[in-house]
Structures are given as structure tokens and as C-alpha cells.
Structure 1
């Protein structure tokens, strides 16, 4: 059975048990979430709505959403999203939109200290899962949407540094002292160039990692620092793991393959032929391709938009199957 047919079958079977909260469109809003240990966290939120949607630019890409539309549904599953190094909350807007249209609330944060405008804490990796847990707290206890969210149906999606983040938040235990030997062997790798320019803080070598047991399913795409996990035995929930076959930023086998080998249960594993690292980001618009060619340009012959149709279908089917309704 092909990848496409497998995904279609999973989506169909998952849809038979889906919540009645399915809506025609994705609503969208931006909120500021208080952080007890730092500046407020900027968060984009997508959610099911019946309000009319319209095309709109978001960063270097586009989405079709209903800004401020009325939330539709109850007992909704929540997906929190963590972007890669130097990104922002809208880096996976098309995936968030697809999930919202399927009945999910999606909250994607811009990591303070590691985003396109501020790299002051780009190597403070323990700060990332902590911020993700702060976001879950907010969405379940303080958000205006809290009454519509089922706290037993929480998933996490992450890409690159975000892929590392969601694995750590789900129970993974990194050992960042491994970065030192890794970078002696691979000084030209992206993570090694980053730590050379912004050395790991002393606290990073003996950090206190935040694990959040509310996370019940994980999607990790091209996870950074995969080799650094000394223990993934607590990551026993369903995991969907993605690797770009031609990833020049986090080349195989130190990253996604290292995670696959260390997980206690086999993940749902996808290797994307012809894809580069940044092909997991939302397809870029014309302005994005003009201003950010490094992350917007795919290899000749690779259709990022077509891939994202398959990718979003697979991610939605995975979370639908593994965060089933818990109410009668």
C-alpha cells in the first residue's frame, strides 16, 4: 500500500469516530500569554469556526482563515506547536489551518529568545519545553477557549528545534554534553555553527527539563539534536516522526534516525524523497520566495505545495486517530 493510500485509509477510519465539532473553516487569532519566567509569549491560535474565511498573508506564506471568527464545538482536542530555530508561530500555518478545519484547536508559540527577531536564547534548549508547558497551562486554564478544550486530548507538533522540544516535553531526557563531541566531529553542521557563535550556557549542561504528562501524541519533523537524547524511554505515547531524505541542515543519521532508534516503541515513520530541511515549513508566497530564498526554495523537481497536501493529511489523520473523543 502506498503512503498516500495508507494515509487516506487512516483518515477515513479516524473520521468515523471524529467529534461532531468539525467546521468548514479555520478561525484565527493572536494572543499574548503571560510567562512567569520571562516576557509574554506571542501565540497564534487556529480553531474550528463556521465564519467566512478569506486568504491572508502570514509571514512569508499565506493562509485562508476567519480572523476572530466564533469558535465552533466542544470537547475539542488541543495541538501545541513549536517552531524551529529563528522561526515564529506562523511557520506551519497551513498545517495549523488543516487541523483547525478538522476540529482541533491549535496554539503555536513564538519562542521568546529563539525567533526571527531575537536569538538571545537560541541555545537555551531547556527553555523551549518549559515555554511549551506554559502554553498548555494557558490554553487549558486561562484561555477564553478553555471551556471548549478537552484536557485529556493534548498533542504536540514540532519542527527542527521544535521537533526536539516536543520530544523533550513528552518525557525525553537530553544530555547536551554530547553536543561537544558531536561538534568536534562535525564542525560544519548547522547546530555546531550555532553553538560556536552562541555557546551553550553552563546551565544547559545540567538543566532541569520540563516534562508535561498532558501530552498524549507527538509529531516530530526533522528533530534537531536527536543524537543528544540519552533516554527516550518515557516517550511511550504515539509518535509520528518525519525525515527529509535530502536534509542538508540536519543530515542523517544523527537526528531523526537517532530518535527512531532510541524510541521505546516504533514510531509512525516517514522519509520524504527529494525533500530538504525547510520543506516542512509552509509553502512560501511570492514575497517569501523573493526575500527568503534560503528557506523558500526547494530542490528542482520537488513540489512543496503538493507535499504539504500529503503531509497535512497525514498529520491530521495521526492526531485524529490518537486523540480520540473521550466524552460519550
Structure 2
């Protein structure tokens, strides 16, 4: 064998050896840690040698290795915080991408702001969510199979929409319900659904004035809390916020994030109008944060992958979460990889 052939064979053998651990990792494990205290269950996705099988979760059919034995990945945990009325399953594609890169992923079901119980969205939920994220880390750290495979001193976090609000809080932002009320008083016609959620929409008709008046009256009566809220968990060392609710933040508090911070934005977000939310955060935190991805043709629901079936949603939710005409969901695989790369950069040695 010539020297060139011997060198080529050696390179191929080295590549095969390097790839072997990935080749034996057949699936994305999934288990649910039980609810404890006032917290909901925590869904965990993780590396496993077991093969994926088709599993039905609500309206979604996913490939998962349910209850399979975990194996060691890269030793790092990422917590995902879902949006209002959300579930872990609408972030399954991102979770799979993270698991393929060796991460374990924990998704707490946020109290009274999830698909099973959407009764208390908004500030009531936002006050609880950061603590739920921290306790999800604790729950993983107590699990006899997962804990030995992880080092929880460098945890990542991703949050979308209301989960993005949670992400910004953990990144060092401070917010107040009163700031939300003041924002809505000033911009009710321009950012209506960030103030009222999915109750109704402005449609350019004769009832729009009444809708705005009723909304502001309700906000003045219900949102009186003037306190500022923060949350720090020193284990969380990198944060990504996707289309976050952020009009209630003191933007100066985000000028110097506590940890590396990145944003994913969508230009056609009708639920959280970018100039009041994600664009305002970017204006405050740059250059100490980064724009990880901008979906120039995406709406608020672009980062839900797989997306919820619109025919199962109400009319307002379907309009606010549906993809704008021409949006190509194939680009989301690249967005997921950018999130993976950001978290690898800041969490791995």
C-alpha cells in the first residue's frame, strides 16, 4: 500500500472512530418527571441508545424513545420555557436538535398557563415562571438516572413568547406589571393583543373603540402591582429568547445582561409587535447581546415546531399564530442549529 493510501485509510479510520459514539445514539429519549408541590410535571428529552418510535402526544405524532435509558451526552442541561397556553411538544424539533448535539432538555409545564389549564396567563404566570425553571433544574438534579450524567453548574435556557419573558428575566431583566399597564395605556391601538391576549382582536370596525376602552378599564382594575420582579439562578449561564413579551421591562436592566443573551425575532409578529418587544430589547442590549436569527417573513408562531393545527385553535389564536403567506418552515432547521451553536459556545468547555 502506498503512503498516500495508508494515510487515507488512517484518516477514514479516525473519522469512523470519532463518529462511532454518535452512530450508536439511536434516539431522543423522553420521560416526564412528576408534578411536585405547586409545580407541574417536567418533560425531559435526552440522549439514548434506544431507537425512536412513533408516539402520539395530543395532536402531534412524534418520534421518541419513551422511557428509554439515558446515556451520557455532553453533560449539559437546557431548560425550555413554553409560551402562554403551550406544551412541550410544540418545541419538540428544537429539543431533538439539542439532544442530537448531546444536550439534555427539560420543559416545565407552567402553572395555569398551559394547554391543559390556560386560566392565568400574563403577570400572574410571569411571576411564577422563573422559579419553575429553577425548580425544573432541581428536579433533574434529583433524578437517579439523569443526575449522574449531568453537570448543572452551566445550564442553558431557551424561552419563546411568554417563555421569552422568562428568559429575559433570568438574563438579568427587571419587569413590573405596572409597566405593562402603562404600555397598554400608551399603545393600546398599536399593540392590542399583547395587552388582551386571545380574547378578541381589533378589526377596523365600529366596535374597536369599545374594545380598547373595555381593555384599558380592565387593566386599570386588574393590574395594580407596582413592584419590580427579578430572578437570578447562577447555574443558568446562557439564554436565548424567541419573540419575547418585553414591553413591561425596564430596558436599562437589559443593557448589560447577566449572561450571554441572544434573540430570535420575527418581522410579521402580530401578537407582540416587534418595535415594542423584541426590537426594543435589541436596541437596549446591543452590543452586549446578539441577534441570532431574524425571520423576515415569519409571524409569532413561526418558532412553534411542530406547529399546532390551526383548526384546533380559536379564530384569534389561529390568526395570530398562523404562518404568513409565503413563510417557508424549512428555514427553522437552520434556526435550531444556530440556537444549538450558541448554547454549545457558551456552555461547553
Which range, TM-score by smaller chain? 0.7 to 0.9
Alignment counterpart, residue 326 of structure 2, candidates 295, 301, 320: 301
Shift of 1:310: 1.2
Alignment counterpart, residue 191 of structure 1, candidates 190, 194, 215: 194
Alignment counterpart, residue 254 of structure 1, candidates 276, 292, 300: 276
Cα pair distance change 1:32/1:276, threshold 3 Å: same
- The one-character-per-residue Cα deviations of 1:169-188 (angstroms, maximum 9, x if unpaired) are 23211133221221112225
- The one-character-per-residue Cα deviations of 1:152-210 (angstroms, maximum 9, x if unpaired) are 220001000000101112321113322122111222522211494676555x4325533
What are the ranges of 5 or more consecutive residues in structure 2 without an aligned counterpart? 1-17, 200-214
Q: Is the aligned partner of 1:223 residue 2:244?
A: yes
Q: d(CA) in 2 for partners of 1:280 and 1:20?
A: 32
Cα pair distance change 1:318/1:289, threshold 3 Å: same
**Structure 2 partner of 1:263:** 285
Shift of 1:21: 7.0
- The one-character-per-residue Cα deviations of 1:16-70 (angstroms, maximum 9, x if unpaired) are xx999753321111221423xx2x4122110001101023333333422111111
> Relative contact order (C-alpha < 8 Å, sep 6+): which is higher?
1
**Structure 2 partner of 1:6:** none
Alignment coverage as a number of residue pairs? 301
- The one-character-per-residue Cα deviations of 1:132-163 (angstroms, maximum 9, x if unpaired) are 11111222244641111111220001000000
More helix per residue: 1 or 2?
2
**Structure 2 partner of 1:13:** none
Q: d(CA) in 2 for partners of 1:174 and 1:296?
A: 25
**Structure 1 partner of 2:31:** 29
Q: Is the aligned partner of 1:239 residue 2:261?
A: yes
What are the ranges of 5 or more consecutive residues in structure 1 without an aligned counterpart? 1-17
* SS of equivalent to 1:253: helix
* SS of equivalent to 1:318: helix
* SS of equivalent to 1:34: coil
Preserved CA contact (<8 Å) 1:226 1:254: yes
Q: d(CA) in 1 for partners of 2:26 and 2:296?
A: 32
* SS of equivalent to 1:28: strand
Preserved CA contact (<8 Å) 1:164 1:224: yes
Shift of 1:129: 0.8
Preserved CA contact (<8 Å) 1:169 1:210: yes
Q: Is the aligned partner of 1:114 residue 2:98?
A: no
Preserved CA contact (<8 Å) 2:52 2:65: yes
Q: d(CA) in 1 for partners of 2:20 and 2:103?
A: 11
Preserved CA contact (<8 Å) 2:301 2:320: yes
Larger CA Rg, structure 1 vs 2: 2
Q: d(CA) in 2 for partners of 1:86 and 1:209?
A: 23
Cα pair distance change 1:200/1:223, threshold 3 Å: farther
**Structure 2 partner of 1:279:** 302
User: Mapping of 1:108-257 within 5 angstroms?
Assistant: 108-123=107-122, 124=124, 125-142=126-143, 144-188=145-189, 189-194=192-197, 196=215, 202=224, 204-206=225-227, 208-230=229-251, 231-233=253-255, 235-257=257-279
Q: d(CA) in 1 for partners of 2:100 and 2:73?
A: 14
Query: RMSD value over aligned CA atoms?
Result: 2.6
Report the TM-score, using the length of structure 2 for normalisation: 0.78
Q: d(CA) in 2 for partners of 1:122 and 1:262?
A: 26
Q: d(CA) in 1 for partners of 2:20 and 2:142?
A: 23
Preserved CA contact (<8 Å) 2:90 2:306: no
Report the TM-score, using the length of structure 1 for normalisation: 0.83
Preserved CA contact (<8 Å) 1:170 1:234: no
Cα pair distance change 1:96/1:314, threshold 3 Å: same
- The one-character-per-residue Cα deviations of 1:65-98 (angstroms, maximum 9, x if unpaired) are 1111111116611000111111122221111111
